[in-house]
Amino acid sequence: MKKINVGVVGATGYTGLELVKTLLNHPHFNLSYIANSEGLTTINKLHPSLNGVCEDEVKKADVEELAASCELVFLAVPHKTAMAYVKPLIALGVKVVDLSADYRLTREVYEEFYVPHEDVENLANAVYGLPEMFREELKSAKLVANPGCFPTSAILGLLPFMDKRQANTPIIIDAKTGVSGAGKKLSESTHFVNVNDNLFAYNPLTHRHAPEIAQKLGVPFDEVHFVPHLVPVTRGMLSSIYIQVHGDFDEMKVLKEFYKNEKNVRVSDIPVDMKNVAGTNFCDVYAKRKGNTLFISSSIDNLMRGASSQAVANANLMMGLDENAGIPNIAYVP
């Protein structure tokens, strides 16, 4: 089988690096174009961990060059920047997996939490890249909006129980993420002295991922109470979720039945942790009920299932390949 040429725009950051690493070992994709906003370097100079593995040129991103050399492009760039690439790439017949927030939300919600949207036509045709919800739609998609890391963890934990949730009650999500989730650019909050031996919430109840969670679950934004925390680990995400439920059911049986055919969601009989999913596309889930209160624990690797490996799984579906082709499934343990 002839390999499919793909490109990565935004190779400088952590998600860009994980995309490159995954694609280098992919059985059906050929990484033919690597780019960032500046060029004039090589991928191993940006990421010395790739010395002796890949030393390809990193170019300054150019839409015409991308279209000439790639059938599909991954955009690991900030919101708003992605729109500038998506519009011309789609017009030139190139499929796109966008890791930014630009195509995840309705126009009204996006513009409330981000910036004015400049590509409304493609926004209407984007498919949300959570295979457990939209697998069939992804197979024919030309543009995929890769989910945010927090929404991936929260939605996968909540999906099996949404029909058992008491209407108009709070969905409380207490999520912890590693520092890599804040990106590569240094800030006061991610400085070693501030993060080390420390733990704190940020953007409580106002984080941009809250409306994404609400929209995909089909509930009012006011019912989602989301508080993210930064923890002193490099990678990983753990969501502790609390909802009010009704009816008589076995929570673990519900989880196991709901995810029995899903290869990338593992139901655990004990509370989950970050380490066992590190470096993989797995989401591990667990649930425990007390009265009408249901506790759900969900863990992912924020850089992988929360970004890059999920993006590659989506690209696999878009190109008619097995969803798990080239997807890492062995965790970084110990």
What separation in angstroms does the CA of 11 have from each of 33, 58, 85, 112? Answer: 10, 8, 15, 29
Continuous segment of H or E residues that includes residue 32: strand 29-36
- DSSP tag of 276: G
- DSSP tag of 160: G
Whole-angstrom Cα distance, residue 216 to residue 212? 6
What separation in angstroms does the CA of 99 have from each of 58, 123, 130, 141, 243? Answer: 19, 14, 12, 15, 29
Question: Has 70 been annotated as catalytic?
Answer: no
User: What's the distance, CA 152 to chain centroid?
Assistant: 6
In single-letter form, the type of residue at position 283 comes to C
Q: Is the distance from CB of 297 to CB of 285 less than 8 angstroms?
A: yes
Whole-angstrom Cα distance, residue 289 to residue 25? 42
Do the bridges between strand 283-290 and strand 265-267 make them parallel or antiparallel, or are there none, so unpaired? parallel
Neighbouring-strand partners of residue 128: 145
Tokens representing 255 are 């989880």
Closest among 104, 232, 226 to 158, alpha carbons compared = 226
Q: Which of 54, 70, 149, 283 is catalytic?
A: 149
Do the bridges between strand 293-300 and strand 237-244 make them parallel or antiparallel, or are there none, so unpaired? antiparallel
Whole-angstrom Cα distance, residue 228 to residue 41? 35
User: Would you please indicate which residues are annotated as catalytic (active-site) residues?
Assistant: 149
